[in-house]
Amino acid sequence: MFYIPVMTIAGSDSGGGAGIQADMKTFSALGCFATSVITAVTAQNTLGVSAIEQLSPEIISSQIRAVMDDIQPRYIKIGMVGNSTSIDVVATTLSGYALDGLVLDPVMVATSGDRLMREDAVFILKERLIPLSTLLTPNIPEAEVLSGQKITHPEDMPCVARRILEYGCKGVLIKGGHLEGVTKQDYLLYKDADGNLRERLFSFDTINTPNTHGTGCTLSSAITAFLAHGYELEQAVMCGREYLHQALISGQDVTLGRGHGPVNHFFNPQKLVKNA
């Protein structure tokens, strides 16, 4: 089971809590063989990001081809791609390979609310990468940027998700963590094998912890891992959400750094994987 190959395409986090590092920990914890394509190197820790160095389009494409031509993962998670050039080269390179699942976590808005992706990059993301995606996993601010609509209540999510689905992805999971309340909700809208629209609302209790660094990366990677294990999309999302929930609970009292620490990726999650 460990030798099911998967790939993450994302930025590197020197603090180890998010990005490539969180993705590879999640893949490994859930019984997959993790391969990686680094799009940018960041200098960051639990307190924030102090520097970012984008890698060239040539080395990004070379990394993808090196892995795909040999190890041949058919399930891919994409996180931070940064700019329009990187997005374009990732989409162009991947289009030459057969994939069974692609989960896109559109890293577009920082926790502070600052935009991390320029308008031209958002346009290329919509045109090139979103149509290749099995599932898009935006948080509230990212879903608002993609749809042009505000989300102030969970009732706003279905309309926003339908608009995002028009860009050509097969499914959208809007993460409701930015909304107020002791109970949070994620909304899934997707097309089934017959092309019918299906929806699912996931409710979960808010966990009181400062250790939330890398939750978006962890969730999208967990969903990718469950898809690679043969789970249908809705079940993969449900199990991915449970994995993140347990990782948050088991790491909520850990002190690591002076800011927002990471979740606990290795809390014995194999029980969540069928035939483990």
**pLDDT tens per residue, range 143-169:** 999 999 999 988 999 999 999 999 999
Could you give the CA distance from residue 42 to residue 214 in angstroms, rounded to a whole number?
14
Q: Which helix (H) or strand (E) element contains residue 4?
A: strand 4-13
Express the helix, strand and coil content of the chain in percent, nearest 5 each.
40, 25, 35
| Strand order from edge to edge, sheet including 135-136 | 48-54, 32-45, 4-13, 75-78, 101-104, 135-136, 171-174, 183-191, 197-205
List, by residue number, the catalytic residues.
175, 212, 214-217
pLDDT at residue 276 greater than cutoff 50: no
Q: Sorting pLDDT into bands at 50, 70 and 90, what band is 2?
A: low
pLDDT for the residue numbered 146: 94
**pLDDT tens per residue, range 213-268:** 999 999 999 999 999 999 999 999 999 999 999 999 988 888 888 989 999 999 87
User: Mean pLDDT in the chain?
Assistant: 91
CATH number at residue 134: 3.40.1190.20
Measured between alpha carbons, how far is residue 73 from residues 28, 63, 193, 195, 237 in Å?
A: 14, 13, 22, 26, 20
pTM of the model: 0.95
Residues 67-80, mean pLDDT to the nearest whole number: 97
Q: Sorting pLDDT into bands at 50, 70 and 90, what band is 8?
A: very high
Number of domains making up the chain: 1
Which of 35-49, 58-72, 173-187 shows the lowest per-residue confidence on average (mean pLDDT)?
Answer: 173-187
Could you give the CA distance from residue 245 to residue 206 in angstroms, rounded to a whole number?
9
pLDDT for the residue numbered 1: 56
CA nearest to 132, candidates 107, 163, 97, 182: 97
Beta strand segments in 148-196, E:
171-174, 183-191
**pLDDT tens per residue, range 106-141:** 988 655 455 567 788 999 999 999 999 999 999 999
With b meaning 16 or more CB within 10 Å and e meaning fewer, what string describes 137-165? bbbbbbbbbbbeeebeebebbeebbeebb
Which of 90-104, 123-137, 175-189, 209-223 shows the lowest per-residue confidence on average (mean pLDDT)?
Answer: 175-189
Beta bridge partners of 199: 189
CA nearest to 177, candidates 222, 136, 125, 142: 142
pLDDT for the residue numbered 206: 86
pLDDT at residue 89 greater than cutoff 50: yes
In the numeric block, the tokens 């294990």 are attached to 229
pLDDT at residue 84 greater than cutoff 60: yes
Residue numbers of the domain that contains 25? 4-272
Angle between helices 215-228 and 19-29 (to 10 degrees): 40
